[in-house]
Structure 1
């Protein structure tokens, strides 16, 4: 939930866990991380300090993440205060925490303090990783302290860490002083001499050639951003290639993976980079980089290239893992090509001796088979049971999709069979039944849902009600049974189960649809007054409600508030708002949102482009409509590989 920016919902779960005394410090760490992901540093710090004041000792990783974020936004004093608190509490700092502190000190030009931290940890016997020293070195280069950077290289030599040629070159480029050039040459001579001696002393008799293992490589965030900026720029590939050559970087599989991951929305450019870097002398793609390239090709619907990369992996005798097969199954399945996905699944089981389907493989295939496109219910049921027999337990996401599929085709027998099976796998009775009941509600069968809810024993009723409260109210309101919904809310209040954000949002949606704007806004105010924080779904519902009632300015105000105060609009919010604007004859505003989506890294869908294109044509703005069409093809081509 935190990864999906649904922190309010996550906090509701924490409250339930608190009542059961089942909250551990790692859960709070996840919440703080969620706040930082949405750049809400104030709330992250507020929760951090309140937990510390109440005696909860948070993990070192949480302290480190906070420090890293504060350093990034130049809040050095607050970051160092966390560091001092860690020391006072006697927490054992790991290499990641030390790296963050060292980088922070150097960024403040407190180099001696950074050295003190390093040497203090070494004296305590804490083994720092090579990356820690590399980060120290890079930060010193950034502030042009080449003298100290040389000292770091010397220190690394003393610890038997490898020093790459580009590190020597970087110091020279940042200094240009003859005296420091001499120091570097001396260091390199010492390295060469010691390496030659080592080879002579350790060379086995009769061996003519010794193959040296590749030393550990690393890269900085600066290096990554520099490469990404070139890859997804609007230059021709020839110019991009020249710029990449001028970077003079040592490309490692780790760096290539991060570049591909960051540039995946620009699929064509990312795959050209993959091909280019694969031809560089001294570089070899790994199974992981191939997997990422296959995923990007599949997302761009270039299945020919995806399969070609798979065959190339085999030719090069790289490890074809379960993840590799799963990527192909997922990419075909997600667009409804389930026949092909099934063939690949069969091929995997028949031809792959080194790996067999894992939980992700089963999950990807079952979700595809349950989808609206290419739905194959019987095959989904068969593979679901095969997954369980193989010893894999389905997760909540898979179960929700599976139950929903069964309820939509009215396969009650299989749904009930699945509930019983889940109970034998360790799922609690309320949880197993709640998954089924929610699916019935989504399928519009609210009467059956109420009937099934009544079958659960008294001991489990309260817990079940907590799970299904929101979906039952929402389903009743969709059927326009507002009195039944309000009665359900009242009955829940009597047993001290109070409305959730889901319940409030459902009421807001209902009253807006019924043109009862004042009631919808009253519910929104009640929600805030009760301390129930609105989510992205709540704000999106407000925007849609205002638009459907002709209150355009109010809708824009909510959208602008989301962008400035959070939660940030996601793909669904943008899509909904674009659709509403085009229906109201404001397609030019929708066109503006298309551009905004791309600028914040959200890829518009074909439907988004279609809504704006048709809307502009209806409004007689044919020239703008053609511009949108060109943007669409540019976007599509950027995601596909270029042949």
Structure 2
């Protein structure tokens, strides 16, 4: 309206005054009309009003709001005299348009010309710098503020505190606060909000208490800043203090405080307090349900998290993608697949299925339950699977021994240019647990070298384990030597690897080196090294390791107890074996087997069978190793009928298919009893390819019993299976000798020579 009257006055030729121009410019600013502003500017220039200070300032303000930096520069250069108002308008205009270099230049020139500034101008300028993230520029203004003596002005100090705290320079903000002698409510609020902005909730609460002790009363702004601090508290004790304070000051603002208190207890892991707040809330909303479910899950209360999900779902509350993803994880932990599928349906319905971390949670749930088809479907529905998605597939396939699938996924990753990480390689190595998969393990090792991941000790430990499982300890040792700083797991993996590969002496030696290096042994190490001592029948060394295990607090470990039972049994200390057995609280099948085999090894057949019967009464199911121990006991005692009973009961009563070692025991029992024909019939009835061991047992019995006919049959079969084995030739030769047939004895010796078979030189390893 004002600009229209101004235009009518121009057309009518009416005289215009300073007031007319200022009013027209104000009206143009209110209308946000750049065109009207330009018309008034032209008229003021024609009629000579541009030099008027009031008109010039109004124009500056108009261009500051609707013009550009170039317009401001031209106008400021055309203005003869700049007063403090002109400078303030220009400074704010430059700052609004991001021309901070122009603002700083003007600022310095005004200081040089001794033009005074209001504290409001400085405060506005500093606030704009802070909001634009121009910390360096704000620091320069701060220096200028000190020069002109405005650093004592509380409004300027407040702006500086806000600027420094918003730019994450809390130390400078706190120094200014402590230096300020005339703090007002804004000073306190500025630092409290700054601490909240930087997630320093605990420090913010302390400052609020200090403020109240000083006698300063909180206003609404203080309370909101205080609540923001509450939302980032991590200390439970501070959370409790803040809760009391919120209840006292709740009258200032009574909206959303329940959820803020709940947030406070959730972040400080105050589960009981959070439950009390949640239950006392008049109306739990979506936010409170989401927070409580997340808290339950983060504290390991997966059942409670799922129960709350069911309640929220029943009441129709909206749950965010993070919480639904957490519900899926909880269902995975609790093995509640049906409920997990229900949560999956809710996720799909809510449209969260495409969120990568949600999809990964669903993927992991199906993989852990072995639902491979559903897992693959989810994976291929993900637009851009991340490395976690690929690794989930790796680990699932590895856990089920699907080597071909693992290799297929690895190839797909290479084709798509996806680089595996250390977890991918660990999953790949997990499937390489036998000599048949060694070539894959070596390829993985080569990729690890190529990717430069030799620094990852955990990955190198996985390589050691892989080579140990594939029975290539030389390569395992080479990997160990490549580790610059092997950790406890590296040493333990080597000791265990040697032991499980039957290299007992090397296992003991490596343990001694490990001990001297200062590395710490664990349950597995002691179990492995004690088993190595059992293999070596090394009682003194084994008992020393036992003492070390007790000193380290590892004696209660069941695998270690099993190794000790076996070790003492192999060393003839059967009473010590029994003591360890009795002291083992949670006996597993290996514990029982170790004692049965210990008694069998020491010729105490009746005690071995008694332990077996006791094992059955305890409810423990025997396995194949159990029957090896029982049959060995029967063999040592010559209990043929009992041996047949236990051998037949394996399949009939326990569904255990007899293996090579069970047949070997039975053949040995029959041969010791002189039932060679029955032993031969049992060998012929074996449902798998016969090994040389059973024939060697029979051949040795033929030598003892002078049965030349069966001896020839057994020797022939051994020579077919192992033509380079000297034992069969020696036994057959000795069999001929036992019946006085020197001619055939010499013929066998000559055949052995012609075949290039040499007798293995015997040796003895005696501990000192």
If asked which structure has higher relative contact order (CA below 8 Å, sep 6+), I would say 1
Structure 1 or 2, whichever has the larger Rg, is 2
> Please, what TM-score do these two structures have when normalized by structure 1?
0.45
